[in-house]
Structure 1
Amino acid sequence: MKNSSAYIELLKIFPPRPITAEEELTATQKAIDSLLDKGELTPDERDYLNVLGTLVYEYEQTLEPIPDIYGIELLKALIEEFELRPKDLVPIFKTESIVSDILHEKRQLTTEHIQKLAEFFSVSPAVFFPMHKVVCNTA
C-alpha cells in the first residue's frame, strides 16, 4: 500500500468522510473541483480524486431518482423552478393563449417551441423528448 506524504497532505486539507447531507456533498464537490482545476494530476491526486468521487457516487445512490419527465411536464417543472408566469413565455409562444393551451395539454410543443425553450432555459433540446432505451442484442 502506498503511503506518500503528498497523499497524506491531501487528507489533511480535506479528510474524506461518508457524505450524509447536501452541505457535505457541496464541500466534497468543491474539493473535487479544485483538483480538476489543476489540470495535470499526480498519481496521489488521482487516487484522492477517485476516493472523493466514490463518496459522491455512494451518496447520490441514496437519493431519490429524478423522474423521467419531458415535454410539457418538463416545461411545467421548469416554470415552477424558475418561478415564471405563463406570460413570461409569450416571447416563445407568441400569445398567452397558446402558452395556456400548451400548459393544459390542448396543444403540443412544436419543434420551433422546443428550440426556443431550450435556448430560454439554457438546456439541450433533447431534454424535451422521452429517453429511449437502447437494447443491445448480443446473441
Structure 2
Amino acid sequence: MLPPLKPIRSETDYQAALASLGAFFDRNPDAAPQAEADYFEVLAALVESYEEAHYPVAPPTPIEAIKFRMEQMGLEVKDMDGIIGKPNRVYEVLNGTRPLSLAMIRRLHEKLGISADTLIQVV
C-alpha cells in the first residue's frame, strides 16, 4: 500500500520523496500497476516543483551554450566558419575576448538552434 501523497515542505520530505522514487525506478517501472505508476508520476512532479523552488538552475552563459551545442553536434572550431567566423574569431569568442555580434547571434540561433535569449544575456 502506498502512503498518501502530500506536499514536499522540507528537506526531510524531499529526501524521503527521492528515496521513494529511487526505489521505484530500481524496480522495473514498466511492469508496475497503473495506479503505482500514476502515484510515482505525481510524486516526481512534486519533487520537480520543490527543486525548482529550492535549487534553481541558472541559465548557461552564451559561451557555455555555444560550447555545449558544439559538443552535442560534434562540431569543431573549423566548423564554426560561416556561423561565428574564421578560427581566430571563434577562439576569441570562445575565450571571451570578443563579444558576440548581432549577426553572430542570429546565425548561432538559426544554424545551431541556441536560444536567442541565452545568447543575448548580459554576463
Question: Deviations along 1:77-114, whole A, 9 cap, x unmatched?
Answer: 22233332111111212311111111111211011101
SS of corresponding position for 2:39 = coil
TM-score of the aligned structures, taking structure 1 as reference length: 0.50
**Counterpart AA for 2:39:** R
Residue of 10, 14, 17 corresponding to 2:39: 17
Are 1:80 and 2:80 counterparts?
A: no
CA distance in 2, matches of 1:98, 1:90: 9
Matches within 5 A, 1:25-40: none
Quote the offset at 1:56 in angstroms. 4.2
* CA–CA distance in structure 1, aligned partners of residues 103 and 36 of structure 2: 48
- After TM superposition, the structure 1 stretch with the greater mean CA deviation from structure 2, 122-131 or 69-78, is 122-131
Letter in 1 for 2:104: H
The one-letter amino acid of 2:47's match is Y
The reply to whether residue 129 of structure 1 matches residue 120 of structure 2 is yes
Runs of 4+ in 1 over 6 A off after TM superposition: none
Residue 59 in 1 paired to residue 47 in 2? yes
Which letter maps to 1:59?
V
Q: Is the 8 A contact 1:90 1:96 kept in 2?
A: yes
For the aligned residue pairs, the C-alpha RMSD in angstroms reads: 2.8
Number of paired residues?
A: 87
The equivalent residue for 2:94 is: 103
Task: State the identity as a percent.
Answer: 22
